[in-house]
Each structure stands twice: as structure tokens, then as C-alpha cells.
């Protein structure tokens, strides 16, 4: 029997729980540590991850690896960065000033040129086929590292559109390690305590929920009920800290710095969540599949990403959190050097880039290179399996020895034929 939660099973159990405990979530007095204290605690010893996902495929040529004045280089200039000799696209003016904190990998060479397989394979680290779906990076970290001492959910996904609990990310780890998704930065529907419900009533309802939960659990597989209970409890903790995602409380100055855009708002919420102690925060942004009018598209999109990305790097560095936070910005692939008739770029896994920063990562480094025209990598390219080893190593996880336990079956956490990219690590 497949141990994975089916969507309808999850929907039923969630509805039952919510029906039995409508409005039962504690929400009011701030629990836990205040933001500054929590941030201080995180600074000391807890590793975190910020994973920025630009869905559809940002062009490496219009971002991290410009090739101006070459046949496929496009119309934009390259600009110097804070690292002498390193240039980014002129669309990345703010990130260019943070280059001394970034590590740019310019020689990604991966396997998939379609979204349907590429998104999953990249975020799962493309392990060898073991007959089971591997977890996305966020779920893997939730499993391998768990929540921080903040007890906040270990894997939060800030995304456009709708939210909810996304179990599919967890793969064989089971639904417990799925992501708690904030659609447009907002908490899942029906999670907040209804305003008409007093705190003591809420507590009573919560007790009822727990009782029903136990009764329900007795009739169900542990896997499912554990997941539901776990999500409920961690979400409840998050609700106690509602200030971290309340967009009405985002400081106007910060909103200006991050940009009054979707990605700016989401990145600012991500900063708050990292400061509060969420272990893994994924910020997803959609609309990067620029098969047509690529250059006007990137001229609109990249500066908005750039502003938000540079601001959060700057803020994490200023607060000291960057020392213990691994930051990654990437897509499922890059874009073709060849410019199609619709003035677009298509999918290109052959030679593309990502950016990293923070804990364990070598600041100011550029790892790997593409050829003069940006068509292929020079020397050896790195597949995503090597990148996963690199990330685990940066987070202090020995990816060569640590294994998953899939119901007794030991499974490597990253592709066993690949290894970490040493040049990218401190």
C-alpha cells in the first residue's frame, strides 16, 4: 500500500478537523520569543534556508552570466559588481552591489528541458531512480533538520495564488514533511481564529480538537494522522506569531526597499519568517517562461527580483542571520542562447546559472564558466545532484553518510555518484 497521503484523504481529514474545531486556533497574544530575540537565537547556532524559485526559467544571459556583444548576448549591457572582474547583467544593478556576498555557479548542466519533469527533478536533486519519489529540498531539510527551537513549521512556502498544505513535496518521506504554503503570503484559509471567538473558548475548542484527533487517529494510519496533527500544531505556533506575515504591518521603508511588487512583498515576509525561526522558507515567483519578447519580459521581471533579492541579502547580512542561512536563487533551467522568431528564449539546461549566499558558501566566488558565446559550459558542468551535495555540506549535513530510512530501506540523501562542489564552499 502506498504510504503517501492521497489528496482526497487529506482533504477529508482536514475538513473533519476543521469542522470539529472551527475557529479553534489560538491567535492573539504573541507567544514565543519576540522577533529580535528569536533572531538572536537563530544567529547563534541554527541553520536556515531561503530558497528563491523563479518558476519557468530566468535567463542566465540576462542575469548572472551576461555575454554582451556576442551573437546571442542580447541587447543588454554587463555591469561591474562589488567583486572586481565579475559582471552581471545591467538588469541586476542592486544584486551587483551584493556580489561580494554571493556565490554564482555559472556551469550548471542538467538533464531536463521541460517544466513538467524539470521542476521536480531539480527540486528533488535528481537522485538515481529508486522507485520512490524523492522529497523536494524543503521537505528534505524539514526531515533532516526539523523545526528550529522556535517550533515554527520547518518548511514554509510563500507563493503566488493559493496556499494550503502541500504534501506532494515530501515524496516518500510522507505528508508530515510537506510544505505549509502561504498563497500570496497569506496563511491558509480558515486557520485564523474567528474574531467572534474568545481566547478561552478557542482553548476549549482546541481541547475538543485534540480529543477528536486522538479518536480519529485510532482509526487511521499513523502516517496520516501524525501529519495532520503535526501540521496543525506547527501552524498553530505560526498563528501565534501572526505579525511575521501580516502585510499591513510591513514597514513602508522596507516595502520600498524590497519593491512594492509581488516578489518584494513575499521576500519581505520571508525575511520575517527567517527572523522568527522558520527553518526553510521557499519563495516562489511565477511567469519567467519567456518564450516570447524575452528581453522586454526580463527588463520588467529581473529588476523586481533583483531589488527584493538584494534587499534580503543585505538585511540578512546586517542582522547576522546570513552566517547561518543558506540562500539559493534558481529556476528549473536557463534559457536558450538562440533567440527565436518571437524574440524569446526557450528552455536551456545545457549551461545556466544559479546564485547562492550565506552559511558555508564562499562569498564573492564565481564557480564554473560558460564559453565565450554562452552556449555551453567550459570544462565540466555540474548537475543538480552535485548542487544538492553542496547545499547539504554548507548546512553541515554529511551527504555521503547520512541516509533516509524509507520503511527500512536506506536511501542516500543525494545522488551517490556526485559530490559537493568544493570551489563553492568555504
Partner 1 sequence: MKAEPKDLKTFTTDRQLLSARFSPCGTVLASGAMDRVVMRWSVVEKKKADDVAVSDDIALLGEPAKKPAPKNAKNAKNAKPESPVELVPLPPLAGFNGWVQSIAFHTTEKLLFVSDSWGKLACTPYEGDAPKSQWENATAHDAAIRRIAVSADGKLIATCGADQFVRVWNSADGKPVAKHEHTSDIFVLTFTPDGTQIVFGDMFAKLSVLDFKADKIVRQFEAAPFYTLSRMQDVAGLRVLTFLDDGRTLLAAGCNPEGGGFVQGVPVLMDFDFATGKPVREVRLGTTKEGFVHDVAWHPEGFLIAVTSGQPGSGKLIILRPGEKEPSYTRTAGLANCHSVALHPDKRRFVVTSTNAGSNGNGRRLTADGEYPGNTSPLNLFEIPA
- Of 341 and 410, which has the nearer Cβ to partner 1? 341
> What's the min distance (Å) between Cβ of 283 and partner 1?
13
If you search the block for the grid coordinates 510563500, which residue do you land on? Answer: 158
Q: Using CB under 8 A, pick the residue from 6, 15, 36, 114 that binds partner 1.
A: 114
Handedness of CA 243, 248, 254, 259 (dihedral sign): positive
Beta-sheet pairing, 334-335 with 87-89: unpaired
> What's the min distance (Å) between Cβ of 200 and partner 1?
43
What distance lies between CA 170 and its chain's CA centroid? 14
Count CA atoms within 13 Å of residue 72 on its CB side. Answer: 20
Give Cα separations from 177 to 33, 137, 138, 156, 227 (angstroms).
24, 11, 8, 10, 8
Q: How far apart are CA 109 and CA 102, in angstroms?
A: 20
By CB under 8 A, tell whether 339 contacts partner 1. yes
> What's the min distance (Å) between Cβ of 177 and partner 1?
28
Applying the rule CB under 8 A, the residues between 127 and 186 that interact with partner 1 are 160
> What's the min distance (Å) between Cβ of 54 and partner 1?
11
Burial class (CB in 10 A: 0-12, 13-18, 19+), 1: exposed
Q: At how many degrees (to 10) do helices 222-240 and 7-20 cross?
A: 50
> What's the min distance (Å) between Cβ of 225 and partner 1?
37
Q: Using CB under 8 A, pick the residue from 64, 172, 182, 348 that binds partner 1.
A: 348
3-class secondary structure, 45: helix
- Each residue 49-78 as x (binds partner 1 by CB under 8 A) or -, in order, gives -------x-----------xx-xxxxxxx-
Q: How far apart are CA 331 and CA 351, in angstroms?
A: 13
- Each residue 368-397 as x (binds partner 1 by CB under 8 A) or -, in order, gives -----x-xx---------------------
- Each residue 271-310 as x (binds partner 1 by CB under 8 A) or -, in order, gives --------------xxxxxxxxx--xx-xxx--x------
Q: How far apart are CA 157 and CA 180, in angstroms?
A: 6
For 299, the grid coordinates are 527588463
> What's the min distance (Å) between Cβ of 91 and partner 1?
10
- Each residue 208-247 as x (binds partner 1 by CB under 8 A) or -, in order, gives ----------------------------------------
- Of 240 and 347, which has the nearer Cβ to partner 1? 347
What distance lies between CA 390 and its chain's CA centroid? 16
> What's the min distance (Å) between Cβ of 340 and partner 1?
4
- Of 72 and 192, which has the nearer Cβ to partner 1? 72
Give Cα separations from 5 to 166, 197, 423 (angstroms).
11, 32, 40
Complete DSSP assignment for 146-181: ---TT---SEEEEESS--EEEGGGGGGG-GGGSEEE
Segment contacting partner 1 by CB under 8 A, of 100-108, 144-152, 343-351, 384-392: 343-351
- Of 159 and 205, which has the nearer Cβ to partner 1? 159
Applying the rule CB under 8 A, the residues between 254 and 273 that interact with partner 1 are 261-263
Compute how many residues bind partner 1; rule: CB under 8 A.
49
Burial class (CB in 10 A: 0-12, 13-18, 19+), 306: buried
> What's the min distance (Å) between Cβ of 262 and partner 1?
5
If you search the block for the grid coordinates 552581471, which residue do you land on? Answer: 88
> What's the min distance (Å) between Cβ of 160 and partner 1?
7
Contacts with partner 1, residue ranges (CB under 8 A): 56, 68-69, 71-77, 90, 113-114, 160, 261-263, 285-293, 296-297, 299-301, 304, 336-344, 346-350, 373, 375-376
Amino acid at each position: 500500500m502506498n504510504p503517501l497521503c492521497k489528496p482526497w484523504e487529506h482533504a477529508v481529514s482536514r475538513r473533519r478537523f476543521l469542522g470539529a474545531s472551527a475557529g479553534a486556533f489560538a491567535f492573539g497574544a504573541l507567544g514565543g520569543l519576540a522577533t529580535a530575540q528569536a533572531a538572536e537565537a537563530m544567529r547563534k547556532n541554527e541553520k536556515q534556508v531561503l530558497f528563491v524559485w523563479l518558476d519557468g526559467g530566468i535567463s542566465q544571459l540576462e542575469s548572472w552570466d551576461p555575454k554582451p556583444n556576442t551573437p546571442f548576448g542580447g541587447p543588454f549591457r554587463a555591469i561591474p559588481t562589488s567583486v572586481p572582474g565579475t559582471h552581471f547583467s545591467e538588469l541586476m544593478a542592486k544584486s551587483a552591489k551584493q556580489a561580494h556576498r554571493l556565490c554564482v555557479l555559472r556551469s550548471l548542466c542538467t538533464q531536463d528541458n521541460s517544466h513538467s519533469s524539470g521542476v521536480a527533478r531539480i527540486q528533488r536533486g535528481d537522485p538515481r531512480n529508486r522507485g520512490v519519489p524523492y522529497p523536494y529540498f524543503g521537505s528534505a531539510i524539514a526531515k533532516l533538520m526539523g523545526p528550529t527551537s522556535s517550533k515554527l513549521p520547518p518548511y514554509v512556502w510563500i507563493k503566488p495564488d493559493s496556499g494550503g498544505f502541500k504534501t506532494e513535496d515530501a515524496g516518500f518521506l510522507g505528508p508530515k514533511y510537506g510544505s505549509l504554503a502561504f498563497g500570496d503570503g497569506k496563511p491558509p484559509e480558515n486557520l485564523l481564529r474567528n474574531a467572534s471567538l474568545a481566547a478561552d473558548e478557542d482553548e476549549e475548542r482546541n481541547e475538543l480538537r485534540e480529543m477528536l484527533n486522538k479518536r480519529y487517529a485510532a482509526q487511521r494510519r499513523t502516517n496520516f494522522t501524525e501529519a495532520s496533527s503535526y501540521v496543525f500544531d506547527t501552524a498553530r505556533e505560526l498563528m501565534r506569531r501572526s505579525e511575521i506575515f501580516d502585510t499591513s504591518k510591513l514597514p513602508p521603508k522596507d516595502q520600498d526597499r524590497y519593491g512594492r511588487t509581488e516578489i518584494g512583498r513575499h521576500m519581505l515576509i520571508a525575511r520575517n519568517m527567517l527572523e522568527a525561526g522558520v527553518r526553510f522558507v521557499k519563495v516562489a515567483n511565477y511567469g519567467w517562461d519567456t518564450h516570447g519578447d524575452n528581453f522586454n519580459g526580463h527588463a520588467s521581471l529581473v529588476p523586481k527580483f533583483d531589488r527584493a533579492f538584494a534587499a534580503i541579502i543585505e538585511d540578512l547580512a546586517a542582522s547576522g542571520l546570513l552566517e547561518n542561512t543558506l540562500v539559493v536563487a534558481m529556476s528549473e533551467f536557463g534559457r536558450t542562447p538562440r533567440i527565436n522568431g518571437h524574440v524569446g528564449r526557450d528552455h536551456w539546461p545545457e549551461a545556466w546559472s544559479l546564485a547562492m549566499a550565506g552559511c558555508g558558501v564562499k562569498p564573492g566566488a564565481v564557480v564554473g564558466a560558460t564559453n565565450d558565446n554562452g552556449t555551453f559550459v567550459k570544462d565540466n558542468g555540474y548537475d543538480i545532484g552535485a548542487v544538492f551535495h553542496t547545499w547539504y555540506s554548507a548546512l553541515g549535513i554529511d551527504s555521503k553518510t547520512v541516509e533516509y530510512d524509507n520503511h527500512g530501506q536506506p536511501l542516500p540523501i543525494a545522488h551517490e555518484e556526485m559530490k559537493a562542489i568544493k570551489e563553492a564552499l568555504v
